[in-house]
Structure formats: structure tokens, C-alpha cells
Amino acid sequence: MVTLAMHMIDIVQNALRAQANMITITLDERGDESLLLFQVEDDGSGMSPEILERLSDPFFTTRTTRRVGLGIPFLKMTCEQTGGTLRISSAEGEGTTVEALYRTDNPDCLPLGDLEGSLLLMVMANPGIRFRFTYRVGPEVFSFDSDALREQGIDLQHPQLVVPVKDYIRENLEALWRHRATVNYLC
């Protein structure tokens, strides 16, 4: 995984396999501390303490289609390369929260990648799932809620809305990024 957007897709896929109905994605840039908190929270089936303990082992997976699971170990590696940390909490029947903390003043910090395209892809491919996305830079915040848009009559699966919705997300993210700290390797 070479971008944070790729990690986001991977963690969301885990949540979907856990039968989540609501997935909350948060990115919180703390410029004064040179930190980025990347968090994905779901209301899926959760994990037992035994499974949770083995998640960072690349030779462990709960999937039956392959014998290795590299998503979480790669996420852990990319956090730790910047001086950050990875924390995962979960309880059976209650869901899972993945929190990756990155040092944004470290040149090993991952680029963000195509956040808007990745988010839109996940929303369009999973119409029955509520996606809440929040990106914060200091006091400035952009929020996207798939259910709120649907309640306004916006059909997020309609092909003609792909470009306008993606532009809407990108324009709001770019407006936020103008408030970033000057020493920052996120792009």
C-alpha cells in the first residue's frame, strides 16, 4: 500500500466482511503536533481477543481464500516508519476501531492518494452501507455523510453524479488543506 487512500480501502473492506452497516472514517491533522490520526470505526461483528492479538502477524488471516493477511501489518509498518503507532480495539458483536497515528513531519509519511475517488468508489459500490467521512485540519472540518445526501434525494449510484460528487469532495478537501502546517509531508 503506497497511499493512505489504499489503506482506507483495505480497512473498509475488512469492515464490510464483518457485515458493518455503518463505517466512520476520520482523518485529523494536528499541525501543531505534526500528527495525522487516521481512524476507521465500524459496527460490524467485531473480533475475539484471540483474533485481535494475532492481527499484526502477516501469516494470519481469517479469510479462507488465502493464507496471509498483509493489510494490518502494512498499516502498522507505515505508521511506525514515521514514529507513529497503530491501535486496534474490538469486541465481538460491537464492531472494530482502527487508529493509525502518523508523524507528518517525517519524510516516510505516506501520501494521501485519491481520497475523494476512493471514498466515492466505496459509497457507490455499497449502497446499503452508511459512510461517514470527516477530515479535520485544526478547527476546520469537512464532513460527508452518505445517508444525509440520500435523504436530500441524491442518488449516489447514478453515473451522472460521479464527477460532481467527486469534485465536491475534492474542492472541500483542498479548501481544508490551505490551513495546514508548513512542515508537512502529506500530499
For residue range 44-72, list pLDDT tens digits in order: 999 888 877 776 665 655 555 544 457 88
In this prediction the pTM is 0.90
Cell 472541500 belongs to 172
One-letter amino acid of 14? N
Cell 516516510 belongs to 108
pLDDT reported for residue 62: 57
Strand 95-103 and strand 85-91: the pairing is: antiparallel
Residue 110 C-alpha cell reads as: 505516506
Hey, what domains does the chain have and what are their CATH numbers?
Answer: 4-177 (3.30.565.10)
Strands (E), 122-177: 130-137, 140-145
Nearest CA-CA partner of 84 in 9, 144, 34:
34
